[in-house]
Amino acid sequence: MWKVYKYTLLDLARNRFAIGYALLLLLVTVGLFMLEADNTKALISLTQVVLALIPLLALVFTIIYFYNQYEFTVLLAVQPMRRQSIIRAQFMAVSTALLLSFLFGVGLPVFAYAPGPIAWTLLLTSAALTLVFCALGMLIAVRQRDRAKAVGIGLATWVFMVLVYDSLLLWLMFSFSDRPIEPVIVPLAALDPIDLARILIMLKIDLAALLGYTGAVYQQFFGSSGGMFVSLVALLLWIQVPAWAATRVFTRKDL
Amino acid sequence: MVIPFIERLNLMDRIAFEDLGKQYGKQWALQGVNARFPEGEVVMVIGPNGSGKTTLIKCLLGLVKPTTGSMHVNGMPVSNDPAYRVSIGYMPQLAEFPRELTVDQLLRMMNDIRDAKTSDTDDRLIKLLNVEALLAKRVGTLSGGMRQRVSAVLAFRYRPNILVLDEPTAGLDPVSAAIVLDAVVRAKHEGATVLITSHIMEEVQRLGDRVAYLQDGHLRFSLPPGAITDVTGEAALATALPKYLAQLPQLHVESL
């Protein structure tokens, strides 16, 4: 597995899109810090941008890379090695490349301008999001034979998670604002990894007050170490489950 | 349907298919294929487009899981254990490799995956096909023909005793094609069994010890090319084959 990982990563290191992704993130991050004098405000804007951008690019990049590698994947599958090793190596190589791009593009400037616990939370949750959407992209790519369809499903997934689900939650909160629905909202938020990441970062920035009563409940739940632990487990599950499903589909499918 | 068998005792079967079948949805791409291919034989797999050639090859390579039947490779039943593929070399119709790797890195990667030392590998084709000149180049900069040359090198490199070549000459220039076919003959003399799909009847007649003809997923016959030309009285396989097919009983394809 490590052999395939090593060479796939070597291939990705010279991949134009991976390099472009790193430069785009760098441009956005440095730009935001230069435009905004208050570093905490810049971090808030950055959070919004990063939480939307990372899932989109991780999904699309993973799907496209997987299809571009398809013939080579077939050639690997003909070698005396297990299919599990192939897909695991590819998953790890693509996520390593995306994580390195992210650390270079966002990690470096964030630690230069605004180091601290907020920066750490932003980096860790975004890194987890990268892995989540890399795993989801892999799952979509192994299930679909048609590349255009796969990219379409990827985009739909992204729009749903970044926009639709969030709006539904907000609508739910406003419609039932006179009733105690917080215990329902908290687990519902965990069903969308982007929401989960957003809440974690917002709480760290101490914007919970702005979120009103619900925010207070969130803080009570997520802010306590137990809540942090639960949300971390939820994010890890968001990586594990799609990755496991993608491996299962790939090992059984006809290539 | 009677499938003619030429039983050759003393020789080991490199490949054996028993009642092999593959169903895609409602369609049978392959049905009831029984065949044994002994060591040191070049088997030309022919048939119309969509007749099941690729599916048969993919079953052997472990890319496609058969719906029915079983396979033996070098006397061992093919299971989920990928170890049997150590003895198989494969050259696909269209080869693609990671674009940003150099050819040298690609060859090294395959050595690593195969746990092969440089002393174990057969590097004759690297010289003959002039892949030496491509070693420093990135795969993404190679033309289709150059990639096919690299692909041929990889197929022969680990001295497999089973070679599977999917239309090996289709993407190659005439000189490289001749070199690859020479390598096939050499591998055969060294005891390898070679499965080749081809549409070029001249190639089939010249190289093949056996012609395996697939039609609608059924193996219609598996005979030496000489047997087909003898029966029909034609010298060239290209003209003998249609005549031979015409006198075969009609194939009843069960439709679901």
Tell me whether residues B82 and A11 touch, CB distance under 8 A.
Answer: no
**Segments forming the whole domain that contains residue B180:** 13-95+159-246
Q: What is the DSSP string of A28-41?
A: HHHHHHHH-SSHHH
Residue B58, domain member (yes or no): yes
- Report the greatest alpha carbon distance in chain B: 55
Residue B4, domain member (yes or no): no
B6: confidence class by pLDDT, cuts 50, 70, 90: very low
- Selecting from A7, A70, A82 the residue whose C-beta is nearest the C-beta of B109 gives A7
Total number of domains constituting chain A:
1
Residue B122, domain member (yes or no): no
State the pLDDT at residue B1. 43
Residue B31, domain member (yes or no): yes
User: Which amino acid, B28?
Assistant: W
Burial class of B82 by CB neighbour count within 10 A (0 to 12, 13 to 18, 19+): middle
Residue B177, domain member (yes or no): yes
The token duo for A247 is: 């491996």
Tell me whether residues B83 and A80 touch, CB distance under 8 A.
Answer: yes
Q: Is the pLDDT of residue A128 over 70?
A: yes
Question: Could you tell me whether strands B210-215 and B76-77 are parallel, antiparallel, or unpaired per DSSP bridges?
Answer: unpaired
B5: confidence class by pLDDT, cuts 50, 70, 90: very low
A168: confidence class by pLDDT, cuts 50, 70, 90: confident
A196 touches chain B (CB under 8 A): no
Residue B235, domain member (yes or no): yes
Specify the CATH number for the domain of residue B53. Answer: 3.40.50.300
B140: confidence class by pLDDT, cuts 50, 70, 90: very high
Q: Is the pLDDT of residue A91 over 60?
A: yes
The token duo for A78 is: 């003909």
3-state helix vs strand vs coil in chain B, percent to 5 = 40, 25, 35
**Segments forming the whole domain that contains residue A223:** 2-252
Which one of A66, A67, A70, A74 makes the best mutation probe of the B interface by having the most chain B beta carbons within 10 Å?
A: A74
Residue range B38-54, pLDDT digits in tens: 999 999 999 998 899 99
Total number of domains constituting chain B:
1
Average pLDDT over all residues of chain B: 88
ipTM (interface pTM) = 0.83
CA separation, residue B78 to residues A78, A252, B82, B99 (Å): 13, 15, 9, 33
B residues 168-227 lying closer than 8 A (beta carbon) to A: none
Q: Is the pLDDT of residue A100 over 60?
A: yes
A19 touches chain B (CB under 8 A): no
State the pLDDT at residue B256. 39
Mean pLDDT of B90-112: 91
Residue B85, domain member (yes or no): yes
Distance between CA atoms of residues A225 and A214, nearest Å: 18
Q: Is the pLDDT of residue A189 over 50?
A: yes
A11 touches chain B (CB under 8 A): yes
Q: Is the pLDDT of residue B30 over 60?
A: yes
- Minimum Cα–Cα distance from A69: chain B residue: B98
A138: confidence class by pLDDT, cuts 50, 70, 90: very high
